[in-house]
Structure formats: structure tokens, C-alpha cells
Chain A
């Protein structure tokens, strides 16, 4: 079945460090791919998305590129801030039906 695998956390970085959170997926066909972010005490919010191969999603300095050949959608940010501390979820949605499949989440803590 469809699934998402993302790197284990927690991840701790110093402010202005480079961030990569790995995500790979298994799916039938060509799903849409997403990164959601969850701040403490809140629900998940969409961070960025890509709907087809080679698309790059970007928002708030975060980027991820839909790589069909490696079935990956790694999240990157060149310079993290303390305010980026949150849990990040990779997710996919098939084009048929409307089910979203989420990874287990990666906790990021950025220290000053």
C-alpha cells in the first residue's frame, strides 16, 4: 500500500544551520506530495506541496523537490531560525480518492 517514510528525529540544530529532513514514499501512480508543520499545541499546517515530478514546492525559505526517480521529497532550508522549531510531517495524496498518508513526523529544535 501507499506509505511515507521520513527520517527519525529528533533533530537539533544551531540557528542559521542548514536543514535537511529526508522523506521517501511508496505509491501507486503519481501522488501529490506535501510537507506539513505542527507547532506546539496546534494542528498541522500545510508548509509546501508538489503535484508532479520535478516540481519544487517552496514556502518560508523551505524547499522540497519531487524526485520520481528516487521516490523522494526531502525538505531543506538554508538557514534555520529558532521559530522553525516544530514537528515536520511528509505526506502523500493519491490522485484517485482523497486519502492522505503521513510519515511519523520529525521533531526539529533550533537553539540560539
Chain B
């Protein structure tokens, strides 16, 4: 399996622009998580889905952030409008309940820079 695939690897944008981050989880996994990593706050859970349904979005910073999972093989995290303080590495991770379900598989992340 190719693992969790995120795109783009790097994104540089200007303040006020819309940013869309993409994630393809491992085939068959039923949980998908979006995390944000910064030096100041470490690894923060933004939102997670189970069977494509958002379960907990309490970590989403504000209304500028939104996430969707239209099907089992694709999810997006959108920031509109973007701000410099959104600069971070955004990780997507997936897992499978049941045997081995406690293991998170992470993508390589998207490095976002908002100028």
C-alpha cells in the first residue's frame, strides 16, 4: 500500500487567499484525522472522521477552517481566508478499528507558509 498520501508537500500563499490541502487515506481505513504541528503548540488534533462522518471538530481553530470527506478515499482541509498564523505543517492520518486499529498512519505532511 502507498500509505497516506497528502498534497501538496509545500504550499506558499499570500494572506487572504484560499488554501486547500488534500489527503488520501490508506484504503480500507475507517478513521481519518487532521493534525496541525507548530513549534509553539506541538501536534494539535483539528478534526477527525469515522466512515466519512465528522465526529469531533472541536479542534478547528475558527470558522475560516473547514474539512470535508466526500468519500472513503479523499478528504480536504480548507482555509479561507488564510492568515500568517496559519503557517504550520498539516498532517493527515488514518487508522482502522479492530485489530491494529490503535495504530495511526501519518502522511508526510503539507508545509504551509502564509505570507
Residues of A that sit less than 8 Å from B by CB: 32, 34, 36, 41-46, 49, 51, 89, 93, 97-105
- B4 at interface (Cβ–Cβ under 8 A)? yes
- Give the contacting residue for B43; candidates A34, A51, A99, A105; CB below 8 A: A105
Residue of A nearest to B6 (CB): A43
Whether B108 lies near A41 (C-beta < 8 A) is: yes
Given that A42-B108, A43-B109 are known contacts, is A105 also in contact with B97, CB under 8 Å in the complex? Answer: no
- B103 at interface (Cβ–Cβ under 8 A)? yes
> How far does the alpha carbon of A99 sit from the alpha carbon of B103 in the complex, in Å?
11
Whether A98 lies near B95 (C-beta < 8 A) is: yes
Residue of A nearest to B31 (CB): A98
Given that A43-B93, A43-B109 are known contacts, is A99 also in contact with B45, CB under 8 Å in the complex? Answer: yes
Whether B56 lies near A43 (C-beta < 8 A) is: no
Interface size in chain B (residues, C-beta < 8 A): 24
- Give the contacting residue for B108; candidates A43, A49, A99; CB below 8 A: A43
> How far does the alpha carbon of A106 sit from the alpha carbon of B115 in the complex, in Å?
28
Chain B contacts of A49 at CB under 8 A? 102-103
6 closest A-B pairs by beta carbon, nearest first, are A43-B106, A104-B42, A102-B43, A44-B106, A46-B103, A43-B108
Residue of B nearest to A34 (CB): B102
- B34 at interface (Cβ–Cβ under 8 A)? no
Whether B104 lies near A44 (C-beta < 8 A) is: yes
- Give the contacting residue for B102; candidates A93, A101, A103, A105; CB below 8 A: A93
Whole-angstrom distance between the Cβ of A45 and the nearest chain B Cβ: 7
Whole-angstrom distance between the Cβ of A78 and the nearest chain B Cβ: 25
Whether B56 lies near A102 (C-beta < 8 A) is: no
